[in-house]
Structure 1
Amino acid sequence: MDVYALLFAATLNAGTVLALASLGLLINEKAGVVNLGAEGMMLCAAIAGFATVVNTGNDWLGFAAGAAAGALMAAVFGWLVIWLNTNQYATGLALSLFGVGFSAFVGIGYVQSKLPERPQFNWLGLGDIPVIGPALFRLHPMVYGTMLLVAAMVWFLYRTRAGLVLRAVGESPQSAHALGYSVRGIRLAAVVFGGAMCGLAGSYLSLVYTPLWVEGMVAGKGWIALALTTFATWRPARVLLGAYLFGGVTMLQFHLQAQGVQIPSQFLSMLPYLATIVVLALISRNPTWIRVNMPASLGKPFYPGH
């Protein structure tokens, strides 16, 4: 049972990386902007957070540095696509490619670096409870913070005026503009928030999930996070469930390898990506369902003068 408790805890740990990035991208897309640069932002944030902790020894400064790196890259992306009206898809891909190369260059000197000793958590002593304790009460604070963030995001999007305005900008920017709202300003704020969330995901990856720096360590998780927003039909609670589902598939490969299952390791490594393709293929069979839930102006530029 202890093995399954640890597997469950590892699933929550792995799912947190995807959930943080996906929740940020969801806010982007609720405002009508598609950012394909998640992979690059997460990589730059991973090295920013890792380098900060190596030099300061403070994990929270590392998370702040990762969030700032992601937000800065997203702000540049937002300026290009919102004010200069560049193509969102091409600009996002360029941002992703830039992040891959830039993080590899900056991180050369940190490949062999080691972080300070990682903290161990045992909340209120509940981590000593058999089975349940290791599964639920020895996790990093960011895991619980992500769960709380989902609840806050549901409340924000569906219970507040600001959330209503954000959704209105994603559905009909012309109508929001006619009512006096700054569509460009709202979209930029959403994009920067999304970048900061991708930054938190990247820094969590290099500080908690796999506490080290290796070139390209995000390994496609940014693309899975993008797919998750569609998989979840742009709903925060479903994003969290989907993130844990894909996190479980990721951890399952390690569990099967540890159990000595005679399956080629390359096949096990491709399980999360295979699951992503299968899920998207199944969802795509019902385009009406996607169209009903998708923000109407997603990926479309907005021209205030028209």
Structure 2
Amino acid sequence: MSTMAVDDVAVAPVDEGFWTRTRKAGLVLTALGLLAVLLFSALAASEPARFTLSDDATGAALKINGTVGAALFGAVALAAGVAILAGLPTRWFTLVLGIGLVGFVASFLCWQVSTAPAGQNFMPLVNILRGTFILALPLIFGALAGVLCERSGVVNVAIEGQLLMGAFSGALFGSLSGNLWVGLVAAAIGGTFISLLLAVFAIRYLVDQVVMGIVLNLLAVGITGFLYERLMQPEPGKYNSAPRFSNWEIPLLSEIPVLGPALFAGNIFLYLGLLLVLVIHIGLFRTRWGLRTRAVGEHPTAADTLGVRVLWLRYRNVLLAGAVAGIGGASYTLALFSFSKNMIGGKGFIALAALIFGRWSPTGALLAALFFGFADQLATYLSAINSAIPSQFLAMLPYLATILAVAGLVGKVRAPAADGKPYIKG
């Protein structure tokens, strides 16, 4: 088993001509850089754009003239785009693209912050970073659930339903027991219930996995909506008043400027989400279980020949994915809100996009989830400062990114070869 290679699949090179996907990305980044240099700098005010290192207007801050900052950071984005267009070595592509995108966003923020009304012309970096992680949490758990399933060869479109059932179960049983840990375990079981149905119908009865995922999402909406109206809505004090996990500050680390309050003063879901990213990454790429999982997701017949119990491994990983997603759903109802009908609001599909953006990797999925979380938090901030840019436009970004991901326009990404293909043991 140790000699099996599952990640290196021979693919015939495709001649894309001059306009490769890399150069197309460079062209888009160049256009964004020009937009920033010409438009953002023209619209920005010659007032200081303040980025405070605290959660309010007081304390230390990074300051830059709005017009100068918009032009300078726009030039960074433009230079990165031109470098990619000129034929940058592949090993530098991701880094330069990231620098260019950060430059574009920084240019945009210099414009927005410098033109904000007096008393609001600052961006609290601690709040932005903290909000980014909070909004990204369900996406992180959902994307990890997708990684576990799809690395095993099972498409998991039911992330939305798993998150929703986890949120509902956590709220209901947390309320009935008055115990946070009972609610957390119930949330994991709720997500596992949806995964069990997915596993049975997709693996045992060979039902189309995408169709089954959509059906399970509708089932979760129906079950939770019905019980919400019958139990939680009439008696919220009894059925929808679960206790909440409080924030746990890690001594010394929580005092690190900007990063400390956001990363080391959170609740259990923040720490658990980051820990699961690390554990699943190590498990997938450094353990025997991970090697077998990737083998089953790439070439189940070969894995079966070498003694791997393909169907059993798929069952186990799909159920584990449901538990992870269920805990992600509980990050709503055991930390932030009371349960409400269909409260996940499409986050499961955004998690699916994060999975694709992250190239079916736990760490990649984490970064993609943080991007979506930042977009949501930025929309909230712009709304608070009465920006001329409609906050609804920025709220659309994660959904637009989902469409691009599903359309395969995010670069050369390849799902596991056996993803979505039923395995019939010979």
Give the TM-score normalised by the residue count of structure 2. 0.66
Residue 266 of structure 1 is matched in structure 2 by 392
Residue 240 of structure 1 is matched in structure 2 by 366
Give the 3 Å change call, closer, same or farther, for CA 132–180 of structure 1 in structure 2: closer
Residues 76-99 of structure 1, C-alpha deviations (whole Å, 9 max, x = no match): 210111111111111111111111
Whole-Å separation in 1 of the counterparts to 2:326 and 2:248: 23
Gaps of 5+ in 1: none
Aligned counterparts, 1:34-183, within 5 A? 34-108=155-229, 109-111=231-233, 112=236, 113-116=240-243, 119-124=246-251, 127=254, 131-183=258-310
Give the 3 Å change call, closer, same or farther, for CA 133–170 of structure 1 in structure 2: closer
Whole-Å separation in 1 of the counterparts to 2:149 and 2:382: 36
Contact map agreement 1:75 1:192 (CA 8 A) in 2: yes
Amino acid at match of 1:14: L
Residue 326 of structure 2 is matched in structure 1 by 199
Q: Secondary structure at the match of 1:241?
A: helix
**1:206, CA displacement in angstroms?**
2.0
Whole-Å separation in 2 of the counterparts to 1:107 and 1:241: 34
Whole-Å separation in 2 of the counterparts to 1:47 and 1:285: 34
Whole-Å separation in 2 of the counterparts to 1:39 and 1:280: 16
Give the 3 Å change call, closer, same or farther, for CA 185–132 of structure 1 in structure 2: closer
Residues 134-177 of structure 1, C-alpha deviations (whole Å, 9 max, x = no match): 22322112212221221211211111111111111111111111
Q: Does 1:284 align with 2:405?
A: no
Contact map agreement 2:379 2:392 (CA 8 A) in 1: no
Q: Secondary structure at the match of 2:251?
A: helix
Which segment is superposed worse, 96-105 or 110-119? 110-119
Residue 58 of structure 2 is matched in structure 1 by none
Amino acid at match of 2:216: L
**1:107, CA displacement in angstroms?**
1.7
Q: Secondary structure at the match of 2:157?
A: coil
Which segment is superposed worse, 125-134 or 232-241? 125-134
Which segment is superposed worse, 40-49 or 105-114? 105-114
Residue 90 of structure 2 is matched in structure 1 by none
Residues 237-265 of structure 1, C-alpha deviations (whole Å, 9 max, x = no match): 11111111111111111111111213445
Residue 379 of structure 2 is matched in structure 1 by 253
Residues 187-245 of structure 1, C-alpha deviations (whole Å, 9 max, x = no match): 1011101111111111112222x321111110000001111111111111111111111
**1:133, CA displacement in angstroms?**
4.0
Whole-Å separation in 1 of the counterparts to 2:223 and 2:263: 37
Between the two proteins, what is the percent identity of the paired residues? 35
Residue 231 of structure 1 is matched in structure 2 by 357
**1:117, CA displacement in angstroms?**
5.8
Whole-Å separation in 2 of the counterparts to 1:275 and 1:84: 33
Residue 301 of structure 1 is matched in structure 2 by 422
Contact map agreement 2:382 2:391 (CA 8 A) in 1: no
Residue 70 of structure 2 is matched in structure 1 by none
Whole-Å separation in 2 of the counterparts to 1:285 and 1:244: 17
Residues 278-301 of structure 1, C-alpha deviations (whole Å, 9 max, x = no match): 4555x5264xx223xx21111111
Contact map agreement 1:206 1:213 (CA 8 A) in 2: yes
Whole-Å separation in 1 of the counterparts to 2:381 and 2:387: 9
Give the TM-score normalised by the residue count of structure 1. 0.91
Gaps of 5+ in 2: 1-51, 55-123
Question: For the aligned residues, what is the CA RMSD?
Answer: 2.0
Contact map agreement 1:63 1:204 (CA 8 A) in 2: no
Give the 3 Å change call, closer, same or farther, for CA 155–118 of structure 1 in structure 2: closer
Whole-Å separation in 2 of the counterparts to 1:170 and 1:131: 40
Structure (1/2) with the larger helix percentage: 1
Residues 15-57 of structure 1, C-alpha deviations (whole Å, 9 max, x = no match): 1210111111101000100021111121111111011222222
Contact map agreement 2:157 2:213 (CA 8 A) in 1: yes
**1:115, CA displacement in angstroms?**
3.6
Kindly tell me the number of residue pairs found equivalent between the two proteins.
Answer: 299
Whole-Å separation in 2 of the counterparts to 1:222 and 1:197: 13
